Amino acid sequence: MKRFGILVNKGKPKARVVLKELVLLLEERGVEVWLEPEIAQSIERPDLSLAVDRFPDVVEIVFVLGGDGTLLGVARRFADSDIPILGFNLGNLGFLSEAEPDSLSTAVDRILSGDYYIEERLMLDAEVVRDGKVLERSVALNDVGIAKGSFSRMITGTVYMDGVYLGTYSGDGLIVSTPTGSTAYSLSCGGPIVWPGVQCILLTPICPHTLTARPMVLPADSTLEIRVSATHRDLGVTIDGQLGYRLKVDDVIRVAKSRHFTHLIKWEERDFFEVVRKKLQGEQDEGERLEGRI
C-alpha cells in the first residue's frame, strides 16, 4: 500500500502542523502522498495536489484529519468506493477516529505493516418524496433526522415499515439511525447503544409527547416510510446533522439500508466497548487508574 490521500479539516487549530508532520513521515517511508489542491497550496506543496474526485481512482487509503463531523463528510463523499478510511482525531469526542495526533509515526508504521483490520459500517439511503416524486436523495453513515425548527410546536410522523403501519409519533421529530449513529444524536434522545457489527436500523423518537413512545430496533433489510404532518411549516430533514432539506406537510421520507458501506480502519486491541467506556463514560485505562492510586 503505497498511495495515500489525506483530507483535512482546515478549521482545526492543529490541522496544518499535524498535516506537515504526517506528510513528512509518509514520504520518509517512500509513500506517495496526495492532498486536495487548496490544502497542498497552503503548505507550499503544490506537487501533491490531486482533485478529491480523483482520489478513488488513485489512492489506496484515505487519512482524515479532523473530528467525527469531518469523517462523516468524507464517508458520504466516498460512499460508492471501497477506500478504507483512517481518522486522526483533532476534534473533541473523536468516536469514529482511531488514531491520535501524538502517535502519527506509530499509526503510519501500523498501516504500512498491515497491523489493522477494516470494519464495514452500514449506511442508509434516504429519499424525500413529494406527491409521488423523489425530490432529494442522500446517503448517511450516522442518521437521518426529521425534526421541527426552533419554535416549540410539535410535528407528527406516521411510520410504515415495508408498507405495514408501525406507529404515529408526535413530538420534536424522529431519528432513523445506523448502529454507528447509535452513539450520536439517537443516544442523546434515549436510544440504545448498538454494537457496530449488528445489522439493524434504529427508530428513535425525539422528545415524544407520550409516555409509551420508545426507541425501536428494526431489521436492516426493511424500508421505513415516514409521512410528516404539522400545523406549521417549520419542518426539515437532516443527513448526519450536516445536510438539510426543507419539508412540507405530507412529504414522505423513505429510509433503507444502502448498498454502500463505510470502511473504517481499526486497531485490533481497541474494541468498541473500550471506546464507549472512555469516550462516553469518561473511564480511565488501567495505567491511568493505577497511577491515580499512587
| Residue numbers annotated as active site | 68
Output the CA torsion sign for 279, 282, 285, 291: positive
Q: DSSP readout, 154-189?
A: -EEEEEEETTEEEEEEEESEEEEE-TGGGGTHHHHT
Contact between 279 and 273 (Cβ < 8 Å): no
Cα–chain center distance at 183: 10
Q: Quote the cell numbers at residue 132.
A: 409521488
Residues in the chain: 294
Output the CA torsion sign for 292, 279, 187, 195: negative
Residue 121, C-beta contacts closer than 8 angstroms, at least 6 positions apart:
75, 141, 178, 179, 180, 196, 261, 262, 263, 264
Q: Quote the cell numbers at residue 285.
A: 485505562
Contact between 204 and 182 (Cβ < 8 Å): no
Phi, psi of 220 (to 5 degrees): -65, -30
Q: Quote the cell numbers at residue 247.
A: 419539508
Cα angle, residue 175 at apex, residues 69 and 251 outer, rounded to 5°: 110
Cα–chain center distance at 185: 11
Question: In angstroms, rounded to a whole number, what is the distance separating the alpha carbons of residues 108 and 26?
Answer: 7
